Structure 1
Amino acid sequence: MQKTYDFKLYRNGTWIESLTGETDTIYSPTDGSVVGTVPIAGAVDVQAMLETATAAQKAWGKLPAIQRAKVLHAFCAEIRANAEELAQLITREQGKLLKVARFEVEVTCSFIEYAASHARHLEGDIIPSDNPDEQLLIHRVPRGVVVAITAWNFPLALAGRKIGPALVTGNAVVVKPTPASPLSTLALCDLAKKAGVPDGILNMVTGDVEVGKTLVESPLTKMVTMTGSTPTGQAIARSAANNLTHVQLELGGKAPCIVFADADLDQAVAGALHSRFDNFGQVCTCNERMYVEASVYDAFMAKFLAEVDKLKLGDPIEEDTDLGPLTEARSVTNLENLVAKTVEQGGRITRGGARPKGDAFAKGHFFEATIIEDVTQEMDIVHKELFGPVLPVIKFEGFDQAIAYANDCEFGLAAMVFTKDLSKIMRLHQVLEFGEIYINRGHGELHQGFHNGLKLSGTGGEDGRYGLDQYMEKKTTYLKY
């Protein structure tokens, strides 16, 4: 019998009961079994959490950054020592393939370690003054208390992505894990304690929208970093406005995947396939709409559909499974409605299109790998975020039409392009309205890059030195000597 996790709130290095006495149950998206329970916090719980973090941050922020980095490296050692249990938990609560969940645990550590590697590079500037016998000193200093709000598609990695840079720069953190899959994130708390993260520096609170709103609206919160939907991000920005709290938002996406006639078609098939069905399409940078140049459309689609046919839908624990369940039941309903609407508008389903039949899928949130052709640019499915294993495919004629179609979108997170033409490649960064552009490969950002959305896909950005800078304030001193 599998373990059931019963977590509490984590404040000041201790597990404590929520004052509300209310709890939320987490069910497996694979078979509906109970994975664990978490408390639903109230306003008093949140206030105590923020006060604790505010008090603890002062000493932590004064430590040399290299000492903070040593604690983070110890934290990663504890995570790796418990990697298999964490991976199994991710799979149970979120539905991710176990082999990919194991990779997510390692990515969590690499996010933290990358941030820790900057400990000796949190540099300011010395600038000449206009006045004699004077210099300008610009220091980078911690913001204070950072509230980190995560999403359910990568529950552990997104926590690491925020915890690492927040802590190495001297902030304290209050994490609000996603309500859909919070357990693996909460499991980090005991590991942090064992690694020597000081009490009060890493805290975790669970609950509903009101908990998030209370966290964001508090004057004790000096920064909010959030990954999630665009409507939620907009609500956070409004709630943070009264205190002018700094916000960093990574929001929705509707990434185009453009295949030009001069592309290496095998390379394009592999990239497009990975970028649609990775994590069952539940990735903000996924291939959400595919544009194929008309002259190679038939040849490309023959190869692409042959690869789609090889995908196995099943239990994410099994090694040969390619597609598992969607995390939330409402995602399946959303896909059903969008597929039906697309067919009504003239789209043609050439693969999948429905929930799979059979007892193995009856209790889970499963949906078939679905390809829809004869799609036109004005259809709803081209503009609404899918976040699942459904792909609309559109023909285009020439460079200008491809770019116009791609940019016809309220989101601007990521785009993928396959072409051998250097002229096209050099023009792409100028004309594509997306923060990340992948050329001749599928999606998948690197730590040293900058994960930055344009339009309604976010503000602030994460990763690399530009992302790390979000977690620090700048102070200028005019030094007369």
Structure 2
Amino acid sequence: MEGFTLERGEVLRARMLVDGEWVSGSGGLIEVDNPANEEVIATIPDATAEDAIAALEAAQRAQPAWAALPAVKRGEAVFALAREVEARAEELARIITLEQGKPIGQARGEVGAVSMFLRHAAGRARQIEGDIVASDNPDEEVQIRRHPHGVVLALTAWNYPAALCARKLGPALVTGNTFVLLAHEITPLSGMFICALAEKAGIPRGVVNVVTGRGAVVGQAMVESPLSDLVTMTGSTRAGKQIYRTGAETMKVVRLELGGKAPFIVMEDADIDKAVEAAVVARYTNCGQICTCNERMYLHEAIAAEFLDKFVAKSKALSIGDPMGDPDMGPKVSRVEVDKIAEMVGAAEGEGAEVLLPGGPLSEGAYDKGYWYSPTVLRVKDNASTLVQNEVFGPVVPALTVSSFEEAATLANDSAYGLSAYVFTRDFRRIARTPYAMKFGEIYLNRANGEQVQGFHTGWKESGLGGEDGKYGFDGYLRKQTTYLNWG
């Protein structure tokens, strides 16, 4: 398993990493398929609860010695991991494409993000800071220190399996925690590959562990267990709520980055061509499988017709095909996802939505195998539409016409989600008001999506709590301790 590769036609027998050993576990096997052609590319252990607890126990044993290292030494180990990733970047990109389906160019971009997340976390090793606060008492000071939580349990989504692993792994290790990854059963191989490279980077046994299997079994067991001290999860709001409820039993620290329903607002004074280009990128990158994607468009009535004409034309022109050939769009990740989206579009049409670009599932010719869905654009009647209120997570987008920025902001906020939002306008007053008018954790003004490592990626409302990236995300992997030091 160490340093595994994956070639076309090969079925990899993957194993789990527990306490420095690659193990098969005590359960059965889960098949991992290539969403472009439905071929089985790997089998992974379908772990039991006992297997999962063994990984937590290994991480707990390794944690005191790892935390005792100077932070700069832990940072050097994470820098070494980044170098290992960079040395095998193309191999990791191919694994991402084979298991997840994103075009190889986008997979290479994801590998770049892996390196960036790791390097940014490693660079913060000398920035773990505390405070000394004046006491009310004589001969005394108040000291506030930061300590690692202990064992970090990371649950990652299937849409960016490598980047999400690194986003959590880097800060967890640099802050002195040990790490257990539950790799998503649809796309487990990317995270497993990164953790295999952690061994090569010299990170001690037990510090990084990987478990595979069903979230309802192994995830539930590890969240319930008092051995996990912090749970960081990226995934659906439904799953996040279950983790939040389960973690409450042991008063566990939980950080959740959940679903999104990003509004894309375009005002009459916007640069229309720039807005159209951003809307296309923000809707169709990774086949629309990004939590910050353009999920619903609110277009000022003065420019709606022009915008939609251009948007539909660009959507229709996108290439769809074998992701190894680097088209604009690859397949959806699974048949379940294709069927879910088709059902949502059908419901919207039943509600009276006007179809502007009739895309939908593809299943003939070059698409007779795999999970394909072509761009679909609809004009909906009102904000209560199925497509406006529910996360699509695919290449389908509804549009509504508005008469003012105030109306657009009100409709955008009328959602259970609050992750990301887009606003295109050149009116400075609107630009200045946007952060106050929009109830979202992340706002893109006059640009497409793509958060940066020095920012803070966080959701409001049912899009989660906590967050990742930058100094605020890094600080989330530490807990505070106050000492009242009296020398009198």
* Structure 1 length-normalised TM: 0.98
One-letter identity of the residue aligned with 1:264:
D
| Structure 1 counterpart of 2:46 | 40
1:302 matched to 2:309: yes
1:4-403 pair list within 5 angstroms: 4-20=11-27, 22-208=28-214, 209-319=216-326, 321-403=327-409
Cα separation, 1, equivalents of 2:417 and 2:128: 32
Contact 2:97 2:104 in 1 (8 A): yes
1:459 to 453, 456, 465: 465
Distance 1:270 1:146 in 2: 39
Q: Which amino acid aligns with 1:277?
A: Y
Instruction: Note the 1:404-415 alignment, pairs <5 A.
Output: 404-415=410-421
Identity of aligned residues (%): 44
Is the CA contact (8 Å cut-off) linking 2:363 and 2:369 kept in structure 1?
no
Q: Distance in 1 between matches of 2:248 and 2:195?
A: 30
Offset at residue 237 of structure 1 (A): 0.5
Distance in 2, Cα, partners of 1:264 & 1:316: 32
8 A Cα contact 1:153 1:283, kept in partner: yes
Query: Which range moved further: 181-190 or 443-452?
Result: 181-190
Instruction: Give 1:189 shift.
Output: 2.5
Which letter maps to 2:222? L
Other structure's SS at 2:391 match? coil
Q: Which amino acid aligns with 1:199?
A: R
Distance 1:350 1:298 in 2: 11
C-alpha distance after superposition, 1:392-446 (max 9, x if no partner) = 0110011211111100100000000000001001111111110001000011111
Q: Give me the TM-score of the superposition, normalised by structure 2.
A: 0.97
**Residue type at the aligned position of 2:148:** P
Deviations for 1:128-162, whole angstroms, at most 9, x for unmatched residues? 11111111111100000000000000000000000
- Deviations along 1:149-184, one digit per CA (max 9) or x if unpaired, are 000000000000000000000000000011110011
Deviation at 1:357, TM superposition (A): 4.5
* Structure 2 alignment gaps of length 5 or more: 1-7
Cα distance in 1 for partners of 2:120, 2:380 equals 44
Secondary structure of 1:111's match? Answer: helix
Task: Tell me which amino acid in the other structure corresponds to 1:410.
Answer: A
Say if 2:63 and 2:177, in contact at 8 Å, map to a contact too.
Answer: yes
Moved more, 377-386 or 254-263: 377-386
Tell me, yes or no, if the aligned pair for 1:5 and 1:183 is still in contact at 8 Å.
Answer: no
State the partner residue of 2:441: 435
Task: Note the aligned Cα RMSD (angstroms).
Answer: 1.0
For residues 365-409 of structure 1, the C-alpha deviation after alignment (integer angstroms, 9 at most, x for no partner) is 101111112442121111011000001011001121111110010
Corresponding letter in the other structure for 2:301: A
Offset at residue 331 of structure 1 (A): 1.1
Amino acid at match of 1:39: P
Encode CA deviations 1:283-337: one digit per residue, 9 max, x unaligned: 0000000010001111212222221122011111113x11110002111111111
Q: Is the 8 A contact 1:293 1:396 kept in 2?
A: yes
Runs of 4+ in 1 over 3 A off after TM superposition: none
Q: Secondary structure at the match of 1:465?
A: helix
- Secondary structure (helix, strand or coil) at the match of 2:410 reads helix
1:122: Cα distance to partner? 0.5
Secondary structure of 1:385's aligned partner = coil
Quote the offset at 1:346 in angstroms. Answer: 1.1
**Secondary structure of residue in 2 paired with 1:205:** strand
User: Distance in 2 between the 1:71 and 1:374 partners?
Assistant: 52
CA distance in 1, matches of 2:161, 2:475: 23
Determine the structure 1 residue equivalent to 2:5: none
Counterpart in 2 of 1:426?
432
CA distance in 2, matches of 1:168, 1:434: 29
Cross-structure match for 2:3: none
Give secondary structure in 2 for the equivalent of 1:425.
helix
DSSP-derived class of the 2:45 partner: strand
Structure-1 separation of matches of 2:114 and 2:10:
23
8 A contact 2:363–2:372 mirrored in 1: no
Deviations 1:339-374 (A, max 9, x none): 111111111112133212522111111011111124
**Which letter does structure 2 place at the counterpart of 1:222?**
D
Q: Which runs of 5+ in 1 are unaligned?
A: none
The aligned amino acid for 1:287 is N
